[in-house]
Structure 1
Amino acid sequence: MAYCAVVRLAAARGRAGGSACRVSAGALAGFACSNPGRCVISFAAIGDWRVRGVRSRAWLSLGAALVLGCIGVRALAGPVPDYGHDFVVIGDPGNRAVNQAEGRRFFPPYAPEGFSVGRVDYRYRMARTEVTVGQWLEFVNAYAPYYDGSVSSLAFTGDWIVYAGNGSYRAIEGSENFATNMAWRFAARYCNWLHNGKGLEQAAFENGAYDTSTFGQDANGYYTDQRTHNAEALFWIPTLDEWTKAMHWDPAKSDGEGGYWRYPTSSDTAPIIGPPGFGQTNAGSGATYDVGAYSDVMSPWGLFDGSGGEREWLEFAADEGSRYLRGASWALGPPFDEIDRVTPGPPITGSGGFHIVSAIPAPGAPAVLFIIAALNPRSRGGRGLQRWNSRMGEHDETFHHPRRRPLLLHSDAPAGNRERAALHGHQR
């Protein structure tokens, strides 16, 4: 019995799909699996597949051997749990990418020739709001027994969670529904944890969406972290395409032709800074509010907090030194909301929050799915984008901005801001 991501079987009795493949004698010339979700199968000519008792004739006439990358497919035999997130389905698969008039920084000289952003060829779900302090606190306390870093590290806790002693953490009063920040690596572990049903064993945090055994640095200081989520992941950090589509693409724009709004507020005009009920965003104000507080300001798909709240981690990595973030935050103003503004951040710093993405639940009836994918359609590599990183640094002031400014304690800011400032010295 060997692990294989290429087949996910929903048994006729309605049980959840398995991830193991049994292949009959003579079908395989060799089988190697370096890590779950990234397998290589070598088939010799023709063979019978037996997958948990289901037999199908596989005519594979490819000469000596056929090598397939088992990197994509899952058949979800039942609903994917929401775990307290309000998910919105992002449809319109095959939408066009951002054009140069809509996002000039996605084109030369800022980006390499042929770079494309925004098109997504599948349906997916994205949480309506950013991950909240309360949701993150549950994760922090679950992972705490395995965490060996500083108890005051904002990469782990974010701004609003503090150590309570005896191995546990608490949220600053009144902050439970604020958007939270964290390091990219801990966001990845959060996705693993949800993927594994919020299990409390350490293995539940270390693989599922992202293999944390890849998290490290080489001799040159480059990060070795897995670049894209596993094909069978149920939850993951959004790709650049997924985030851009969910926040900016409107199928009804331009009299139904579809198009991208400049800002993630269904508008080509920058949102007005001010408290809920008066303004449209807290971007750059220093004040913090509950997620979804600007209830009349949303993306074309009904997502909140694309502007303000926290900057948002993307899965997208342009080089070995950083991941990328999108959107403005309580500390950075609306110019950072522009569709073609992205900023880099090391995956080990608490630089942003995120809207979690989820797989689409399967229909009610069980199904058997056999798909072999040569490429993961949700993956976007990035090794060829080092030029983009440097060029955008030359042309775009985004790359010269600090991640954090001192807190601005406005009179309308929640009292918790003052406690946060005292605890963290006004800086993240």
Structure 2
Amino acid sequence: MITVTTAKVGAPGNPSVGITPFKDAIYRSCSHAPKPSRGCLMVGGVNYRYEIGQLEVTVGQWVAFLNTADPRGVDRRHLYDATESSSMWPKYGQINFSATARSGSHYSVAYPEWADKPYGAANFLRAARFVNSLYNGRLISKRDSNDGRFHYVTYTIELSRQTERGMYELTRPDATRAHNSGFVVPSQNEWIKAAYYDPSGGGTYSYWKYPTNPGVFGDGEQTAPNPTVLNPTTGDVTNAANQPLASYHASGQPAPSWCPGQVQPVDCSTVNPFGLDPSAYASLYQGSLSTVGQAGTRSPWGTLDQGGNAVEWTDTITAAPAGGDSGRVWRRLHGGISNSSAYQMWLSAVGLQPQDNPFFTLTYPWLGIRIGVIGDLKFGQR
């Protein structure tokens, strides 16, 4: 059983805007983009009301899902990798596995400090299976609340073991939404609207540059939010008063970083699953995931951490990039990470990856999930 809180996103029929991936610009439409403008996309418009997770899915929630979906610990659906363990990866290992544990308890949070951090080893198929477990689960309670101008819904759900069908029929590699009501992985437009579209008209064409503040398009990273500073042994944010704030690696500053206090510092800085020498490891793996929500800076709809911390999957299918494997299913991601600079938090930072890239999930510990809700969930209804 888990509890999730969503932010309500209204203003149906809001206008889309034009962006060129990773270019520091925004256009009223692609027809207004400079010529030639290769790859211009219209994004952000959504013509219905929906909800999106206020926070990223946490390690504690993911462990509850693992023990529900795989009570015998056989991992037939490849929901876990050994590189996620604290023994193989002391700094980033979030979840431990015990073959001898009793049924329904094979998976555990590696250290208590990880429970409220974003789950960081997701691929799209893992995200879809988590959503299917929610979709097929039993809605125990539903409560509306307000916080100033923001509106939230808190759900308590008894998770289901059924992960292969529900909102996503995973017998199909290119699965799309099978129902018009229920839990979902947000689409790219749903994600972008929740992060950047300001219904009060702030920003440029009513869109912010960052999920934390309007910023200024075209100024590079000058108006980026402040970077978080983390408690070195717990990952809690220690500078929440320094708003606006996000967990990312600002230029010329240390990345937000921590390692569980139970781990010896030398192990934290040297032990890794890839055999990297300490120098290469220190260069490639700097930023850590911070406690969800503690940065405290809200998007125009009241979500937290859509900028920085973990990059997040959407269910939007896209064409393979030039030179990419067109035989695989590629999906969009968004949000930036604690290990990279501010540009990954831009509105235009519409990344893409194969939905089941094993190299990515094994080596990139900043891959997160944020759930969404479409339609109106009622008791006795999925």
For the criterion TM > 0.5, the same-fold answer is yes
In structure 2, the residue corresponding to 1:260 is in which secondary structure?
A: coil
Relative distance call for 1:315 and 1:166 in structure 2 (3 A) is same
Of structures 1 and 2, the one with the larger relative CO (CA 8 A, separation 6+) is 2
Matched, 1:89 2:47: no
2:377 and 2:368 map into 1 onto residues whose CA distance is 28
| C-alpha RMSD over aligned residues | 3.2
Query: Counterparts in 2 of 1:226-241, with a 5 A limit?
Result: 226=175, 228-241=176-189
In the TM superposition, what is the alpha-carbon distance from 1:327 to its structure 2 partner?
A: 1.3
In structure 2, the residue corresponding to 1:126 is in which secondary structure?
A: strand
Relative distance call for 1:327 and 1:194 in structure 2 (3 A) is same
Q: Which of 190, 197, 205 matches 1:249?
A: 197
Conserved in 2, the CA contact under 8 Å of 1:156 and 1:183? no
> Counterpart in 1 of 2:224?
270
Matched, 1:172 2:107: no
Conserved in 2, the CA contact under 8 Å of 1:88 and 1:128? yes
> Counterpart in 1 of 2:169?
211
Conserved in 1, the CA contact under 8 Å of 2:197 and 2:206? yes
Matched, 1:342 2:350: yes
Which structure 1 segments of 5+ residues have no match? Answer: 1-81, 216-224, 367-428
Relative distance call for 1:254 and 1:195 in structure 2 (3 A) is closer
Residue type at the aligned position of 2:116: N
Which structure 2 segments of 5+ residues have no match? Answer: 20-24, 87-91, 139-157, 216-222, 230-236, 250-254, 256-286, 320-325
Conserved in 2, the CA contact under 8 Å of 1:250 and 1:258? no
1:152 and 1:238 map into 2 onto residues whose CA distance is 25
2:54 and 2:79 map into 1 onto residues whose CA distance is 31
Conserved in 1, the CA contact under 8 Å of 2:202 and 2:214? no
Residue type at the aligned position of 1:197: G
Conserved in 1, the CA contact under 8 Å of 2:17 and 2:28? no
Conserved in 2, the CA contact under 8 Å of 1:152 and 1:162? no
Query: Counterparts in 2 of 1:83-232, with a 5 A limit?
Result: 83-99=2-18, 102=26, 109-111=37-39, 115-144=41-70, 145=72, 147-148=75-76, 149=78, 152-153=81-82, 159-166=93-100, 168-173=106-111, 174-181=113-120, 182-197=122-137, 204-215=162-173, 225-226=174-175, 228-232=176-180
Conserved in 1, the CA contact under 8 Å of 2:181 and 2:376? no
Residue type at the aligned position of 1:111: G
In the TM superposition, what is the alpha-carbon distance from 1:261 to its structure 2 partner?
A: 0.2
After superposition, give the CA deviation of every residue in 1:163-207 in whole Å (9 maximum; x if it has no partner).
1233611112110000112111010001100000167775x1111
Conserved in 1, the CA contact under 8 Å of 2:182 and 2:377? no
Conserved in 2, the CA contact under 8 Å of 1:209 and 1:234? yes
> Counterpart in 2 of 1:298?
298
Conserved in 1, the CA contact under 8 Å of 2:53 and 2:303? yes
Residue type at the aligned position of 1:346: P
In the TM superposition, what is the alpha-carbon distance from 1:306 to its structure 2 partner?
A: 1.0
User: Identity of paired residues, percent?
Assistant: 27
Residue type at the aligned position of 1:315: D
After superposition, give the CA deviation of every residue in 1:325-371 in whole Å (9 maximum; x if it has no partner).
1111122221100001122222124352121001242689x9xxxxx
1:205 and 1:142 map into 2 onto residues whose CA distance is 10
Conserved in 2, the CA contact under 8 Å of 1:155 and 1:183? no
Residue type at the aligned position of 1:84: T
After superposition, give the CA deviation of every residue in 1:53-91 in whole Å (9 maximum; x if it has no partner).
xxxxxxxxxxxxxxxxxxxxxxxxxxxxx9411111100
Conserved in 2, the CA contact under 8 Å of 1:246 and 1:300? yes
1:138 and 1:229 map into 2 onto residues whose CA distance is 24
Query: Counterparts in 2 of 1:38-77, with a 5 A limit?
Result: none
After superposition, give the CA deviation of every residue in 1:12-68 in whole Å (9 maximum; x if it has no partner).
xxxxxxxxxxxxxxxxxxxxxxxxxxxxxxxxxxxxxxxxxxxxxxxxxxxxxxxxx
Residue type at the aligned position of 1:358: V
1:156 and 1:194 map into 2 onto residues whose CA distance is 25
Residue type at the aligned position of 1:235: F
After superposition, give the CA deviation of every residue in 1:278-336 in whole Å (9 maximum; x if it has no partner).
471221321332100111x1101110001122111011121253212111112222110
1:95 and 1:150 map into 2 onto residues whose CA distance is 37
Relative distance call for 1:239 and 1:150 in structure 2 (3 A) is closer
Relative distance call for 1:214 and 1:273 in structure 2 (3 A) is same
Relative distance call for 1:105 and 1:232 in structure 2 (3 A) is closer
Tell which deviates more after alignment, 237-246 or 273-282: 273-282
In the TM superposition, what is the alpha-carbon distance from 1:213 to its structure 2 partner?
A: 0.8
In structure 1, the residue corresponding to 2:96 is in which secondary structure?
A: strand
TM-score, with length taken from structure 1: 0.57
Conserved in 1, the CA contact under 8 Å of 2:84 and 2:94? no
Q: Which of 259, 264, 275 matches 2:206?
A: 259
In the TM superposition, what is the alpha-carbon distance from 1:208 to its structure 2 partner?
A: 0.7
Q: Which has the larger radius of gyration?
A: 1
> Counterpart in 2 of 1:8?
none
Relative distance call for 1:363 and 1:230 in structure 2 (3 A) is closer
In structure 1, the residue corresponding to 2:306 is in which secondary structure?
A: coil
Relative distance call for 1:318 and 1:150 in structure 2 (3 A) is closer
Relative distance call for 1:105 and 1:120 in structure 2 (3 A) is closer
Conserved in 2, the CA contact under 8 Å of 1:323 and 1:347? yes
In the TM superposition, what is the alpha-carbon distance from 1:272 to its structure 2 partner?
A: 1.5
In structure 2, the residue corresponding to 1:259 is in which secondary structure?
A: coil
Conserved in 2, the CA contact under 8 Å of 1:87 and 1:125? yes
